[in-house]
Structure 1
Amino acid sequence: MNSKKQVLITGFALFSMFFGAGNLILPPFLGKNAGESWLWVTIGFFLTAVIIPFLGILAHARIQGTMYDFAKKISSTFSTFYCVIMYTIAITLPAPRTASVTHEIAIAPFFNTSSLVTSSIYFLGVLLFAINRSKVLDYLGKFLTPIIIIIIASIIFVGIFSSPNEISAGIYDAPFVAGLLEGYQTFDAIAAVVVGGILVISLNINTNGSFQDKKQLITKAGIIAGLGLLFIYAGLIMNGAFWSTNFATDASRTTILNGLSTYTLGKIGTSFLSVLVALACFTTAVGIVTGTADFVKGLFNNNSKAYTITVVLGCILGVLIGQFDVSYIIDIALPALMFIYPITIVLIILNVLNPKYTSVIVFRVVVLITFTFSIPDFLQFFIDESQLNTIQKIIPFAKHNLGWVLPAVFSFVVTNLLFAQKKPAV
């Protein structure tokens, strides 16, 4: 049986794995742009930034394997390719973004240095920690996350009760969809697939419980982590909306977060938050780089040189990409997210469902259909939008970048009806 203390510790550890300082800049921006429609964007944001990641943890509780196990029913080749794509995205987008967030929140407001200098020093530190595998990060994580939560909670509560009485009109035509798609940028669904596997490995090493005990522990920990994310995201979206009249129309994500901290906690609170955000970003970057390097090391029969080379290349990419503005990195991430997120969401849901309804053929058909109908969402960034108008008119929700949803559901139902009882569940 799992003790309450063990559940709380595991839940808090899981929350720490999800919680990245970069995610803090997204909800206030969303709330500010939503204005009076903040509740709708909150619901949409919850779906992709809280609910889907939570289901990812439930999937890990069910299969208790690694990221590779999420797609192995399709084929070993596809699963390997999927893992490569996931880690490639992680090391080229969210990892460099942590350096960019650090520069804009913790460096630029206080020092007149270039972003290239910041990203260079930043990823030199990441390189040293990733190569040496220092345990300092473990201690930083244990004490850093609670302090950040206290600071963010203070901003949320003070902000809600001291905000202006006026809320600006929203700029979104479809607030729910805007919130849902902005949730992609948290990378939380990807994080669920990655960190869930890390959690399973850790539990296998450190506990002697049964499969069922571990399943219950992971599930309860997922609930705790999900509630923590829900509180922070909802609170920051509300604050962005409640203080929306205080920001310019074109205010950036980091500007809004910095502004909220100043309005609520003053300059001292802002300075403190800057340092904590920088450290949180740093631990996130080290985790991504080391996790990716561990995966590559495994592909090359645990070759230590493969680990070192991957760390070096990851840090070089971090320097080159991390020097750009946060908004730019978010923009260039969109095509990759439109490509990988629908597949990831479908894989998470299929792994949560009863194996009776998720045979090999179901996995293959649903993922193929999902990929096919998400292609227009990916192509819109590379071809003229008018060329996709006909497709978007035919496919329901395609104009909202959700054209894959109904085909995925339809293919799941039809495939199960056609192949029901003809093949045992795997």
Structure 2
Amino acid sequence: MRFSKETLITGFAIFSLFFGAGNLILPPYLGYLAGTNWLWVSLGFCLSAVLIPLLGIFAHARLQGSMLDFGNKIHPVFSIIFCVLVYLVAITLPAPRTASVTYEMAIQPYFEVSSLTSSAVYFGLVLLFALNRSRLLNALGKYLTPLLLLILTTIICIAIFAELPPATASQLESPLTSGLLEGYQTFDAIGAIVIGAVVIISLNLVNTESHQIKRNLMIKAGSLAGLGLLTIYLGLIYVGSLYVNQTVTDSRTDLLSFLSYDTLGSGGRILLSILVSLACFTTAVGIVTGTSDFIKGLFKNSQRAYIITAILASALGVLIGQTGVAYIIAVAVPALSFIYPLVIVLILLNLFSDRFVSSLIFRLVALVTIVFSIPDFLVSFNAENYQGRFSWIPFSDYGVGWILPVVITFIIGKIIEHFIDESKTSKPEN
């Protein structure tokens, strides 16, 4: 597969929009917990943090519209509610988390600056990029992503070739599902449908090519970004597993700081600070831009609505960012347990043509997804009171009780459609 300059720039931009705080701090700690089972945990993590997001970009490439298109086949009102929920989650959880991670790892250790001041400057720059969105893909793809990849690759390569004791057994009871659920915390499935819309609008601003050419461009660029994510995740998880006997920590950020110091020396922490700032910043820009694009579309492409939304989203990021990384991750678990399955299902359904997946299938599968996500939501929200009550649902103990009901519903829906089509064709003409 040959990549043009535009494809490379767009692919790097998609990678940088995806690669934020969670993508950086979660994989090493996951490997640290997995130990010798790092491959199993990598498989689960990459399913939810690479494959599903990549399919989300492919779905956007097919639709070539806005995020509203993901739910329109269910009902336009449902689509608006779904989009509002997704963007609300995006601007209240992953966006503020990027500011918190940046402060805890890149600002607080070196400067006597308050979290509020740091977040204000941070989201001020995010707002500046969001308001100059016509240059967004070019800036991210040409400059920020290559620097990000260079620092990450350096840390991974030095750690891999270091002389370390053999890793011990996993601390995780189920490495595969642990990796899958930890992948939720990257927000990348949500990021795919938010970022995909940003990429489409950005391409339309500078590219007047046909629908098919832009579709092929997005597929190639998305594949390149997915390959980059896969490589970096595998490297970070593996490196984390190598350090399982080196240190004991309950903090994801502390482990990452330890890794950077051990591989790159005293200068490693400075490089890590740059890395964290870049990774977090690009994701925050994507979220604020995507949310502003959505509201602009609801208000008949009003530029005023775009600017007001960007300002409010940035202000909200400053305020929520004061709560800290650990608190934001804890709050995110219940929210993701409910919304993530629906996002995944809508991504998968929108990959198929309208002839294969009808509105009936969309409605049935979405309804069952919502119903069977509620038990996982209740358990994650209040595990002590609800643990064991939903054990009759297959895989519910692993936090993915929605999967089998959704698959069965899809099959039943196709069978119903088959009989409906047969009955129509068998009716004699008057």
Equivalent residues in 2 for 1:174-323, closer than 5 Å:
174-250=174-250, 252-323=251-322
CA contact (8 A) 2:334 2:380 kept: yes
Equivalent residue number for residue 354 of structure 2: 355
Identity percentage of aligned residues: 55
- The equivalent residue for 1:47 is 47
- Supply the distance in 1 between the matched residues of 2:367 and 2:222 (Cα, whole angstroms): 29
Counterpart CA distance in 2 for 1:80 and 1:237 is: 37
Q: How many residues align?
A: 422
Question: In the TM superposition, what are the counterparts of 1:370-385 in structure 2 within 5 Å?
Answer: 370-383=369-382, 385=384
Distance in 2, Cα, partners of 1:45 & 1:236 = 12
**Distance in 1 between residues matched to 2:206 and 2:308, nearest whole Å:** 30
User: Aligned AA for 2:347?
Assistant: I
Distance 1:228 1:311 in 2: 29
SS of equivalent to 1:246: coil
Correspondence 1:317-332 to 2 at 5 A: 317-332=316-331
C-alpha deviation, 1:171, in angstroms: 1.6
- Separation of aligned partners in 1, 2:397 and 2:188: 24
Structure 1 residues 129 and 146, CA gap change in structure 2 (3 angstroms)? closer
Contact 1:163 1:243 in 2 (8 A): no
1:264-296 Cα distance to aligned partner (Å, 9 max, x none): 111113202312421442333233223212322
Matched letter for residue 319 of structure 1: V
1:387 CA displacement: 3.6
Which position in structure 2 is the counterpart of 1:340? 339
Give TM-score, length-normalised by structure 1.
Answer: 0.92
Report the CA distance shift for 1:262/1:383 in structure 2 as closer, same or farther (over 3 A): closer
Deviation string 1:296-353 (CA, Å, 9 cap, x unpaired) is: 2322233444334323332232122112221221111111111111001000111113
* Counterpart residue type for residue 46 of structure 1: C
Partner Cα separation in structure 2 for residue 85 and residue 72 of structure 1: 15
* Corresponding position of 2:428: none
CA shift in 2, pair 1:45/1:163, >3 Å: farther
| Residues 375 and 383 of structure 1, relative CA distance in 2, 3 Å threshold | same
Distance 1:292 1:58 in 2: 20
| Alignment-derived partner of residue 369 in structure 1 | 368
Amino acid at match of 1:94: P
User: How far apart in 1 are the matches of 2:128 and 2:10?
Assistant: 28
Structure 2 letter corresponding to 1:227? L
When structure 1 is superposed on structure 2, of 208-217 and 65-74 the one drifting more is: 208-217
- Report what 1:109 is aligned to: 109
Residues of 2 paired with 1:356 and 1:73: CA distance? 12
Give 1:77's aligned amino acid.
V
Q: CA deviation at 1:13?
A: 2.6
- Sort the Cα spacing of 1:307 and 1:13 in 2 relative to 1 into closer, same or farther, 3 A: closer
1:11-63 residue CA offsets vs partner (Å, 9 max, x unmatched):
22322222224411110011111112111110000100001111112212222
The answer (yes or no) to whether the contact 2:16–2:144 under 8 Å persists in 1 is no
Aligned counterparts of 2:127 and 2:221: Cα–Cα separation in 1: 31
| SS of 1:24 mapped into structure 2 | helix
Match of 1:412, as an amino acid?
Answer: F
Query: Could you list the per-position Cα deviations for residues 45-99 of structure 1 after superposition, in whole angstroms to 9, with x for gaps in the alignment?
Result: 0100001111112212222222111111001101111111111111111110111
178 and 353 in structure 1: CA distance in 2 versus 1, 3 angstrom threshold: same
